[in-house]
């Protein structure tokens, strides 16, 4: 059974740096083709993809946010860490991690997702 | 930032058939990238409903079906049930943005 769970602070001050950890089980990030992504969803809004890291340590970022994001993996701990710098009030959202599921020749989708963690940016 | 447009809401009576559209462009759906659909209930994470345009994961009722043509895609729900009340999002990849994109979302009311 594949599961993912997000952890980290739920309240962050403006301009601070946010560090979120995704701890997963049921698969390995050393297996070819596997990836873990981060997606956020502001209250009442659609999900927004943030970043994705692959088994070979290749990384992809949302071009609108890439200057503020860093994604990294720790395969020994089955964890993926997302760092976002210079937080603003508009970064208040629920942050999800999810496994990238892909079939050769198909477009990536995300399944399953973690339960999410609500991060509030407020002074 | 969303490049996939969905109707904000769709309503239907129990037992009816409804469809949700997802309109993209030549850099995403029109470029041949697959569309996927997610169902989300309040307060919980989105759940994969349709992948690869038309495929249902194990456990998803066959009342749900997907299609794609050109720059658009659709999710159909037949035999609408009260438990289908949720938000629905489409998702694909955009080659211009070089990233994954989600639709604007549709709230289904039964």
A65: left (phi over 0), alpha (psi -120 to 50) or beta: alpha
**What distance in Å separates the CA atoms of residue A108 and residue B80, rounded to the nearest whole number?**
28
User: Are the C-beta atoms of residues A32 and A55 closer than 8 Å to each other?
Assistant: yes
What is the structure's pLDDT at B1? 57
Among the ranges given (A3-7, A17-21, A98-102, B74-78), the one the predictor scored with the smallest mean pLDDT = A98-102
What is the structure's pLDDT at A77? 96
For residue B96, CA distances in Å to A9, A15, A36, B30, B99 come to: 33, 30, 22, 12, 8
Given B35, B93, B102, which is nearest A48 (Cβ)?
B102
Chain A, chain B: beta-carbon pairs less than 8 Å apart: 70
As to burial, measured by CB atoms within 10 angstroms (0-12 exposed, 13-18 middle, 19+ buried), residue A102 is middle
**What distance in Å separates the CA atoms of residue A83 and residue B29, rounded to the nearest whole number?**
30
Given A46, A62, A111, which is nearest B104 (Cβ)?
A46
Residue A22 in this model has a pLDDT that exceeds 80: yes
Residue B106: closest C-alpha in chain A: A46
Partner A contacted by B1 (CB < 8 A): yes
Partner A contacted by B58 (CB < 8 A): no
Query: Quick one: what percent of chain A has pLDDT higher than 70?
Result: 100
pLDDT band at A101 (very low <50, low <70, confident <90, very high): confident
Angle at B6 between CA B87 and CA B101, to 5 degrees: 85
Q: Best mutation site among B100, B102, B103, B106 for testing chain A: the one with the most A CBs within 10 Å?
A: B100
pLDDT tens, B6-27?
999 999 999 999 999 999 999 9
- Residue A37 token pair: 């992504």
E-strand spans in A1-123? 3-7, 11-12, 18-25, 35-41, 47-54, 59-61, 69-74, 79-84, 93-101, 109-113, 117-121
Partner B contacted by A111 (CB < 8 A): yes
Residue B91 — φ and ψ, nearest 5°?
A: -155, 140
Residue A63 in this model has a pLDDT that exceeds 70: yes
Residue A104 in this model has a pLDDT that exceeds 80: no
Partner A contacted by B45 (CB < 8 A): yes
Distance from CA of A53 to the nearest CA of B (A): 13
Distance from CA of B89 to the nearest CA of A (A): 8
Bond preceding residue A107 cis, omega within 30 of 0: no
pLDDT band at B51 (very low <50, low <70, confident <90, very high): very high
**B101: chain A residues, CB-CB within 8 Å:** 49
CA A28 to chain centroid, in Å, comes to: 16
Contact assignment for A112 to B44 by CB distance below 8 Å: no
pLDDT tens, B60-101?
999 999 999 999 999 999 999 999 999 999 999 999 999 999
**What distance in Å separates the CA atoms of residue A22 and residue A117, rounded to the nearest whole number?**
10
pLDDT band at A110 (very low <50, low <70, confident <90, very high): very high
pLDDT band at A95 (very low <50, low <70, confident <90, very high): very high
Residue pointed to by tokens 């599961």: A3
Rg (CA), chain A: 14
Contact assignment for B102 to A62 by CB distance below 8 Å: no
As to burial, measured by CB atoms within 10 angstroms (0-12 exposed, 13-18 middle, 19+ buried), residue A60 is buried
pLDDT tens, A71-91?
999 999 999 999 999 999 999
Length, in residues, of chain A: 123
pLDDT band at B55 (very low <50, low <70, confident <90, very high): very high
Given B44, B48, B99, which is nearest A63 (Cβ)?
B99
pLDDT tens, A32-55?
989 999 999 999 999 999 999 999
């Amino acid at each position: 059974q594949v599961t993912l769970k997000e952890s980290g602070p739920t309240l962050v001050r403006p301009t601070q740096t946010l560090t979120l950890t995704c701890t997963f089980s049921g698969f390995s990030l050393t297996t070819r083709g596997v990836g873990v992504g981060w997606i956020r969803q502001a209250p009442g809004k659609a999900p927004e993809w943030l970043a994705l890291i692959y088994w070979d340590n290749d990384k992809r970022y949302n071009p609108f946010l890439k200057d503020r994001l860093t994604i990294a993996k720790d395969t020994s701990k089955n964890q993926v860490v997302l760092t976002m710098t210079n937080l603003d009030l508009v970064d208040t959202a629920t942050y999800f991690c999810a496994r990238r599921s892909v079939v050769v020749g198909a477009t990536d989708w995300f399944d399953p997702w973690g339960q999410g963690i609500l991060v509030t940016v407020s002074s | 930032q969303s490049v996939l447009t969905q109707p904000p809401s769709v309503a239907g009576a129990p037992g009816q058939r409804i469809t949700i559209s997802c309109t993209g462009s030549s850099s995403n759906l029109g470029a041949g990238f697959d569309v996927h659909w997610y169902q989300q209930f309040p307060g919980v994470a989105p759940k994969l409903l349709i992948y690869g345009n038309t495929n249902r994961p194990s456990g998803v009722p066959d009342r749900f079906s997907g299609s794609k043509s050109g720059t658009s895609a659709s999710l159909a729900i037949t035999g609408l049930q009260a438990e289908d009340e949720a938000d629905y999002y489409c998702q694909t990849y955009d080659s211009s943005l070089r990233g994954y994109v989600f639709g604007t979302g549709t709230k289904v009311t039964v």
